[in-house]
């Protein structure tokens, strides 16, 4: 379900969306704003969607997101102006904003033992969809004709909806404690407020969210500006592409194993090591011009991303109570989206003012300082539990 859904939304934007926007006669400055519309939705919607799933149940909220996945792509076929495209992007952005935290919360509901590994398997499945989509999308673009791309996205969205119906039936057995919505609107609102208050006053959850935001801040900076640096030193697009393919593959393949290790040894150390290893790779990237050295650095960065993101969602679940998994993971998702969206914007100014070397060094410094602060300030309940069992 997750892999099909993320394939559907990714094929809608990569590489089709910027080309589609340009075909509408939009300048480059406005193009970026339109492309960011769905990310902004994630910042705003992920937290209330996760909290709502704590109150109404995961299955109902996930079904709502699947209905958006299955219908949104077909609206692109009706777009004739930039304003219409913005509205479609906002509607489509609701799907991923809802699915991200709520699906993770559903996995957390279902598995107590081995939660980190199971959540990492789900995340890797979505990454496979994200990895395959651009290649398929590129093949379906016919000049300035984008109909086949969005038809393909719509068909895949419908398949994701059908997969979710199968999951809905299985989830009733696997996670029977899905909350039941048998209460008045007023009672629901008061419970929702209570759940959010519990999560938003939990310092460790917020700090864990900041670590994921820092990781995605760096991720956004690397995916946006490393290609420009590489093109500037003479590499072609055909040479640059495999570097980022390697990064996604390494992250997707290693994430379940790193999640399993975090179940055994604790989350904190994996998050800190992932941030620091990523920082070392980022700091070195703009000083290297050898292709295979760059391949090694971006592979290390991909491992760092896997180590951090395999542990953050599981740690947030460990730190929250079962009735607030959705709220907690919604907070994590919203903070992550802020980091991901701000990385390219902030580092763009740094590159203009300082060039690539100092700009990437600042990104690396943020990661290292985050890792050190995290190790000092945040408790790791999974590690404490492992020590208790050993005793």
Residue-wise pLDDT tens digits, 199-252? 667 788 888 888 888 998 898 788 777 877 887 888 875 687 677 778 878 888
Flag whether 177 is in a domain.
Answer: yes
Q: b/e string for 352-377 if b means 16 or more Cβ within 10 A? A: eeeebeebbbbbbebbbebbeebbee
| Residue 241, C-beta contacts closer than 8 angstroms, at least 6 positions apart | none
Number of domain units in the chain? 2
Q: Are residues 169 and 247 in the same domain?
A: no
Instruction: Give me the DSSP letters along 122-148.
Output: HHHHHHHHHHHHHHHHHHH-BTTB-HH
Flag whether 196 is in a domain.
Answer: no
Could you give the count of Cα atoms lying within 13 Å of 155 in the half-sphere of its Cβ?
6
Task: Give the three-class secondary structure for 234.
Answer: coil
Please answer whether residues 225 and 286 qualify as being in contact, where contact means their C-beta atoms are separated by less than 8 angstroms.
no
Cα 278 from Cα 89, distance rounded (Å): 31
Quick one: pLDDT band at residue 285, thresholds 50, 70, 90? very high
Flag whether 268 is in a domain.
Answer: yes
Q: pTM (2 decimals)?
A: 0.69
Q: Are residues 232 and 378 in the same domain?
A: yes
Q: Are residues 301 and 258 in the same domain?
A: yes
Q: Are residues 347 and 384 in the same domain?
A: yes
Flag whether 132 is in a domain.
Answer: yes
Instruction: Give me the DSSP letters along 193-217.
Output: HHHHHHHHT-HHHHHHHHHHHHHHH
Flag whether 193 is in a domain.
Answer: no
DSSP character at residue 322 = G
Quick one: pLDDT band at residue 368, thresholds 50, 70, 90? very high
Q: Are residues 10 and 95 in the same domain?
A: yes
Could you give the count of Cα atoms lying within 13 Å of 1 in the half-sphere of its Cβ?
25
What pLDDT digit, counting tens, does each position of 332-361 carry? Answer: 677 777 776 777 778 777 887 888 899 999
Q: What is the largest CA-CA distance in the chain?
A: 67
Cα 387 from Cα 391, distance rounded (Å): 6
Flag whether 198 is in a domain.
Answer: no
Q: Are residues 371 and 251 in the same domain?
A: yes
Which residue range is the domain that position 59 belongs to? 1-182
Q: Which two three-digit tokens encode residue 162? A: 């059908």
Flag whether 187 is in a domain.
Answer: no
Q: Are residues 175 and 209 in the same domain?
A: no
What pLDDT digit, counting tens, does each position of 138-154 carry? Answer: 788 887 888 999 999 99
Inter-axis angle of helices 82-110 and 37-56, nearest 10: 40
DSSP character at residue 78 = G
- End residue of a domain, out of 182, 216, 249: 182
Quick one: pLDDT band at residue 366, thresholds 50, 70, 90? very high
Flag whether 189 is in a domain.
Answer: no
- H or E, element range at 46: helix 37-56
What's the rounded mean pLDDT across residues 5-9?
Answer: 93
Q: Are residues 116 and 211 in the same domain?
A: no
**Total H helices, total E strands in the chain:** 16, 0
Mean pLDDT estimate for the chain: 81
Candidate ranges 12-16, 160-164, 259-263; pick with highest mean pLDDT: 160-164
| Closest C-alpha to 135, from 15, 251, 238 | 15
Cα 338 from Cα 184, distance rounded (Å): 34
Compute CA 293 distance to the chain's CA centroid, rounded to the nearest angstrom. Answer: 27
Q: Are residues 266 and 166 in the same domain?
A: no
CATH code for the domain in which residue 79 is found: 1.20.1250.20
Q: Are residues 158 and 248 in the same domain?
A: no
Q: Which residue has the higher pLDDT, 218 or 108?
A: 218
Q: Are residues 314 and 219 in the same domain?
A: yes
Please answer whether residues 46 and 65 qualify as being in contact, where contact means their C-beta atoms are separated by less than 8 angstroms.
no
What's the rounded mean pLDDT across residues 15-25?
Answer: 79
Inter-axis angle of helices 267-284 and 356-377, nearest 10: 170
Please answer whether residues 119 and 131 qualify as being in contact, where contact means their C-beta atoms are separated by less than 8 angstroms.
no
Question: How high is the pLDDT of residue 390?
Answer: 43
Q: Are residues 163 and 278 in the same domain?
A: no
């Amino acid at each position: 379900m997750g892999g099909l859904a993320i394939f559907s939304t990714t094929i809608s934007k990569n590489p089709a969306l910027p080309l589609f926007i340009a075909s509408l006669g939009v300048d480059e400055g406005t193009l970026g704003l339109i492309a960011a519309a769905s990310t902004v939705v994630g910042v705003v919607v992920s937290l209330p969607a996760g909290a709502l799933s704590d109150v109404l149940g995961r299955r109902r909220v996930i079904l709502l997101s699947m209905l958006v996945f299955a219908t949104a792509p077909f609206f692109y076929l009706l777009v004739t102006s930039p304003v219409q495209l913005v509205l479609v992007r906002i509607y489509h952005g609701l799907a991923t904003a809802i699915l991200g935290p709520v699906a993770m919360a559903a996995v957390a509901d279902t598995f107590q033992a081995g939660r980190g590994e199971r959540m990492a398997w789900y995340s890797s499945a979505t990454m496979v969809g994200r990895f395959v989509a651009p290649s398929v999308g590129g093949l379906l673009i016919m000049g300035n004709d984008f109909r086949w791309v969005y038809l393909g996205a719509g068909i895949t969205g419908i398949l994701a909806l059908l997969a979710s119906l199968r999951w809905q039936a299985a989830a009733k057995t696997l996670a029977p404690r899905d909350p039941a919505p048998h209460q008045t609107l007023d009672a629901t609102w008061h419970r929702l407020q209570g759940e959010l208050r519990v999560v938003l006053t939990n310092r460790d959850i917020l700090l864990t969210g900041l670590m994921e935001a820092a990781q995605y801040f760096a991720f956004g900076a690397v995916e946006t500006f490393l290609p420009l640096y590489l093109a500037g030193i003479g590499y072609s697009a055909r040479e640059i592409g495999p570097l980022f393919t390697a990064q996604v593959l390494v992250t997707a393949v290693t994430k379940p194993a790193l999640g399993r290790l975090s179940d055994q040894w604790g989350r904190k150390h994996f998050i800190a090591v992932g941030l620091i290893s990523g920082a070392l790779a980022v700091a070195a990237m703009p000083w290297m011009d050898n292709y295979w050295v760059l391949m090694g650095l971006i592979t290390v960065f991909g491992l760092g991303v896997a180590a951090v993101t395999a542990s953050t969602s599981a740690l947030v679940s460990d730190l929250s109570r079962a009735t607030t998994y959705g709220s907690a993971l919604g907070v994590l998702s919203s903070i992550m989206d802020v980091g991901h969206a701000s990385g390219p914007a902030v580092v763009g100014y740094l590159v203009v003012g300082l060039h690539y070397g100092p700009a990437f060094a600042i990104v690396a410094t943020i990661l290292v300082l985050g890792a050190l602060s995290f190790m000092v300030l945040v408790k790791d309940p999974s590690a404490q539990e492992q020590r208790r069992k050993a005793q």
